[in-house]
Chains A and B, each alone.
Chain A
Amino acid sequence: MNVTRDFAPPFTLIAPFFLIGTLFYVISMIALFALGSEVSFADMGTIGWVHLYLLGFVMMIIFGAMAQLVPVVIEVGHAAVDFFYIIWPMLTVGTVLMVAGFAFSPALLPYGGMIVLLSMVIFAADLFATLKRGEHKSIVVSSMKASNIFLLLGILSGFVMALSFGGVVEIDPMHWLKAHVFAVFGGYVLLTIMGLSMVLLPMFGLSHGFNDKPMLWAYRFMVSGVSAVMIGSLIGLEWLETIGILVVIASVVTYFYQIYLIKKTRARKENDIWVKSLAFAFFTLAIALFESVVYLLGGSESWIMSAGWFLMMGFVGFLITSHLYKIIPFLVWFERYAPLVGKQKVPMLNEMVPLRAANAQMVSTATGVMLVGIALLFGSDSLFYSGVSVLVVGAVYLLYSVYTMMQYGKEVL
């Protein structure tokens, strides 16, 4: 089946996800000034920041990217593409309310949580309806199905916690915390990234003929590991939780091996901003894995705080920004230049990336990620705020780059 132009959502539908997601990224970096190097994962400030970053930036960009990529992967058009017009406003409002709830007034949490929950239910509804229409079966499609089930479970558990913070229901939120974190971050974010890696990395790197069995195992490990952690934490079986965490780590290691196999068969050797950002992303994933193991072996909380930082800001952050430099030029090119092919000279996609700003973004953000990660490990505020300052500079460069790519060729319309 062909992926026709009709299957591709209009740029006007996807653009707000990328622009608002990037704005949330800038705000997230500035908000780090409100934290310090000795934060705990149970602090309301930390939880608020994590939601600002994960909902406002990570989820917003993933949803926008999925609007474009779902038809490509499933080889069928969206069941209800117009749903995306209401997803981003709802996710924006829900995120703002939730962050305000964590920062100022817990009573806002149920309202914010409800709006976020609804936006994600709408997203999942479109995805499952689209999956039902498609006939193409692959590990990517399987990971999409599983990750969206985890998204719903994760958001539901988060909503129960939001009700608890808001005083509506009485549960011990810490009891639900692991289930929520592993469902959303491991089950949804990581599994989605793993699945999409199997499409995007070979496509941009022109890798062929590699063994894709490790991804199948990474998928199985992640699904069973996250399930075990969720069940273990909800019914209070600590040994099941521990096994689940180890299986999740095994999944990430297996995924790492899969990426190595894809890289080994890469025909396209150029080290552009995409490759350099990916290299840093996987470097920080290795650091996060190492620090997680140290924590599990009895290390202090600072190890897991630093690991979480490298995982979220290093691995997930750089995976996302690296692909913004590929996906946005493609979307803009597809909208503005594809109709002109054969009629006039059209630019190549890499010409649409503002090279200096993109490199400045990558270098400053990588520096900031390292400084803050080390600061969290050793409890150094001076290092922490130095790192945050550099991250803010990187965020401004990112905003400039995203805006410039979106404006490219606007005059041709």
Chain B
Amino acid sequence: MSVVTEEEVYKAISTVIDPEVGFNLVEMGLIYEVLVLKNGHVSVKMTLSTRGCPLHQMMIQWVQEAVVRETESDFCAVEIVWEPAWNITMADESVQESLSNQGIGGN
């Protein structure tokens, strides 16, 4: 069985973009934990930027599909957690800077 690395999983999840803000889930700091099990299955613990996010279920599905599509793993379990609650300081500095700049991504 081929070995999947955590790095590969993060890279796979970074292909999932939040359509509202335009950043990927990894740079948003929404991925709390990635575990690669001995059998090659992947377990992801993540959160969402808001509890009432209408994309809740879709996000889970997109992460699962991205991991299976972009890595050698054939199974990914995703758990959504609300503790610790996400805040902007968990996002990459580049994201924080972009969000702070007026007009970025604006309409």
Contact = CB atoms under 8 A, between A and B. Distances in A.
A4 B52 contact: no
Interface string B77-98: 0001000011110000000100
A333 B88 contact: no
Interface residues of A, number: 40
Interface in B1-50: 15-17, 19-22, 49-50
A206 B21 contact: yes
Given A341-B62, A342-B65, A349-B19, A4 B57 contact: yes
A209 B87 contact: yes
A208 B103 contact: no
A68 B53 CA distance: 12
Interface in A1-37: 2-5, 7-8
Nearest to B60: A2
B56 A271 contact: no
Contacts of A202: 50
Interface of B: 15-17, 19-22, 49-50, 52-58, 60, 62, 65-66, 69, 80, 85-88, 96, 99-107
Given A341-B16, A355-B107, 12 more contacts: A3-B56, A5-B57, A7-B57, A204-B20, A206-B21, A267-B96, A268-B99, A269-B100, A269-B101, A271-B102, A342-B65, A342-B66
29 contacts: A2-B80, A3-B54, A4-B56, A7-B57, A8-B54, A72-B53, A73-B52, A199-B52, A202-B50, A203-B50, A206-B88, A206-B99, A208-B87, A209-B85, A267-B88, A269-B100, A271-B103, A272-B106, A272-B107, A330-B54, A334-B58, A337-B19, A341-B16, A341-B58, A342-B69, A348-B19, A348-B105, A350-B22, A355-B107
Interface of A: 2-5, 7-8, 68, 72-73, 199, 202-204, 206, 208-209, 267-273, 325, 330, 333-334, 337-338, 341-342, 346-351, 353, 355, 358
